[in-house]
Structure 1
């Protein structure tokens, strides 16, 4: 018999989202049964749900997908950005259907269950998105029980007891355990993933983007400033997406990945030509406790440095700027960013809940990009130096490829440093 505190869901409901405010959103559960607590956010991408769920930057978060048809192309082993999902769960409008894609190997709900992730369908995601936009990203518990019985007061208490992402260092939890060399290339239809520089590199349009042409050999000399052997970048993994390393390799770099907590001496033992700071989850100020001193030592070498997302925020902290928690964050594949050097607008993929405060940028640091959604900082560069970073994801996956040129630019800087 159910406990007296247990509330039976409305007819047909086997899942719910319980917010710290006490609000309950009922729906139909899928994937794994159980419960998980975290920050509830929304994501506007129309595709790429596997990449989004496996992005380590989503650790500690439940994703509300604004696009109603999630799951219709199923799941496969290629469309992932890590060894498994890092997002706690997903909230969708329509029940995931049987997949319609020649690449699918299983249904999304089966993939979610296999990876112990909870899904909630049948939710008015437009209303929930408006709730987040007006009230900020709330703390909530996503729960799934086949019998439809939920201890709602206990779930409310769980939501209220969660400390929130502010002050939370999640990078060390999702980072690699030890260093390794990366040699994987970008995905190619008919070939899958193969080491970059192998004989089946895709045809490109000159910016490293697939153009649909017949696969052709990748020619390293096409990269600006490319020299032989390949310039070597040490990438600090704060929770990186694999597609970042794929595009560094595609641009002509040799990549060594090290854990988030690697010391400066450990990094320099690899004799890098430059440094890369990856994306990742959590509060940059918390991760910065151990990351910022290492980044400042990197900057003192004068070698090129490139940061993305959390890496951008950590670079900002390292040069004396401050970061702040955003009201609702930026998460989607359609975010316009203005490049201040020439006024060009790039459509970008974003996933972040913290931002660098532009007013805090010190002398000698230039703001390079701004979000056209809310005017927040989206890029910086150190004057006269060789360090720069962006708040968005130029590697996409999912998302537009307007900003892939940044990898080419960075590897060109690495090649110059290697001479």
Structure 2
């Protein structure tokens, strides 16, 4: 195993071993507290531009499988773990984590003190950093980390959004292009092979959407049309949706003026449901503001309270920006709050059928407490 180093913009350098592809990458260094779901983390487009550190000490113990991917491949800028498991103890495993990382060109490092790294990030906040297997000079790496562009003010959605409309078909569990007529390639088959009737038509704005989201809609017999995050309100309404979904995605929401404009034009025309970045965009479209958090929320054990029922949900989260509660317009009310720091975790429009949450109710490697949100959206489309 070849040596590798991780350098932070504050001058801290960690030495370790390369467990992925050879090379050098930069990005914002953050951490995720999940014990499982590392492949979902790797393939989540919301991590575009970020070097992700896993806090659990051993990662890779159940290998990698195509069925666990949340997109076409890894999206992270780089990957940091305390120890890569050399043994994949799971019958579903198709390859070891290291082989998966190398096969997809992911620069990754282990053998460093991730506890010390995470303590630093919690204290000082997320930092720009560099992982390298080719340049091991500390001063050079720190200088490169300082030059990394970071996340604020960047439009990363354009790097992960699809270029054309797509349809998710439950029967195939894969992406297929719309045919010339704009129709689905076929309804999902029932238990006896007979086509099941399709329910509401959901048009999803893909700002970097995790695949488990359309799986949830398709599992409820919805027809799902996925459109680029750059689509206009007219483009979306031309598909004649029963409801509009606003997906998760990477980075800073405020530079996405085109998406904010589109969402603003859709509010009140169709039922709207947003997750993560979609939650921030709905809030911005209604007049709120967002801010960059110190180190964000990333993990699968975050407690959130539903203020309408008083119930507490254990949620999966991945965001470094949040809605400023002091900026919320009168037409939005807070429906969910984090029990860790009190930040806004959900909003609802008072006069239009539109609501959103900051967390991920669709999370595959995470709790299932929040699945009711999909049912709530379906009810609003049927109303």
C-alpha change, 1:310 and 1:185, in structure 2 (3 Å) is farther
Structure 1 residue ranges (4+ consecutive) displaced by more than 6 angstroms after TM superposition? 216-220
C-alpha separation in 1, matches of 2:359 and 2:268: 25
Counterpart in the other structure of 1:160: 146
**Secondary structure, counterpart of 2:58 in structure 1:** coil
1:154 Cα deviation (Å)? 2.6
Counterpart in the other structure of 2:160: 174
1:96 Cα deviation (Å)? 2.7
1:392 Cα deviation (Å)? 0.1
**Secondary structure, counterpart of 1:352 in structure 2:** strand
1:397 Cα deviation (Å)? 1.9
**Secondary structure, counterpart of 1:275 in structure 2:** strand
Counterpart in the other structure of 1:298: 266
Unpaired segments ≥5 residues, structure 1: 1-11, 188-194, 201-215, 221-227
Q: TM-score, normalised by structure 1?
A: 0.85
Asked if 2 retains the 8 angstrom alpha-carbon contact of 1:60 and 1:165, the reply is yes
1:144 Cα deviation (Å)? 2.3
C-alpha separation in 2, matches of 1:414 and 1:276: 11
Residue 76 of structure 2 is aligned to residue 87 of structure 1: yes
C-alpha separation in 1, matches of 2:338 and 2:213: 21
Q: Which has the larger radius of gyration?
A: 1
Residue 224 of structure 2 is aligned to residue 235 of structure 1: no
Counterpart in the other structure of 1:415: 382
**Is the deviation greater in 177-186 or in 354-363?**
177-186
Residue 136 of structure 2 is aligned to residue 150 of structure 1: yes
Counterpart in the other structure of 1:260: 229
Counterpart in the other structure of 2:177: none
1:263 Cα deviation (Å)? 1.2
C-alpha separation in 1, matches of 2:172 and 2:131: 34
Counterpart in the other structure of 1:15: 4
1:89 Cα deviation (Å)? 1.7
Counterpart in the other structure of 1:270: 239
Counterpart in the other structure of 1:199: 190
Asked if 2 retains the 8 angstrom alpha-carbon contact of 1:185 and 1:249, the reply is no
Counterpart in the other structure of 1:56: 45
C-alpha separation in 2, matches of 1:381 and 1:114: 43
C-alpha separation in 2, matches of 1:274 and 1:342: 24
Asked if 2 retains the 8 angstrom alpha-carbon contact of 1:52 and 1:398, the reply is no
Residue 284 of structure 2 is aligned to residue 317 of structure 1: yes
C-alpha change, 1:356 and 1:70, in structure 2 (3 Å) is same
C-alpha separation in 2, matches of 1:32 and 1:261: 32
C-alpha change, 1:290 and 1:13, in structure 2 (3 Å) is same
1:231 Cα deviation (Å)? 1.0
1:273 Cα deviation (Å)? 1.0
Give the count of matched residue pairs: 371
Counterpart in the other structure of 2:296: 329
**Secondary structure, counterpart of 2:320 in structure 1:** strand
**Secondary structure, counterpart of 1:172 in structure 2:** helix
Q: Deviations over 1:327-348 (max 9, x none)?
A: 0000000000000011100000
Residue 254 of structure 2 is aligned to residue 285 of structure 1: yes
Query: For the aligned residues, what is the CA RMSD?
Result: 2.0
Asked if 1 retains the 8 angstrom alpha-carbon contact of 2:212 and 2:364, the reply is yes
Asked if 1 retains the 8 angstrom alpha-carbon contact of 2:26 and 2:78, the reply is no
Q: Deviations over 1:275-314 (max 9, x none)?
A: 0000000110012x1111111111141x110000000000
C-alpha separation in 2, matches of 1:388 and 1:167: 25
C-alpha separation in 2, matches of 1:242 and 1:34: 29
After the TM superposition, which residues 200-215 of structure 1 pair with which residues of structure 2 at under 5 Å, given as runs? none
Of the three residues 343, 346, 370, the one matched with 2:310 is 343
Of the three residues 92, 115, 133, the one matched with 1:103 is 92
Counterpart in the other structure of 1:190: none
Q: TM-score, normalised by structure 2?
A: 0.93
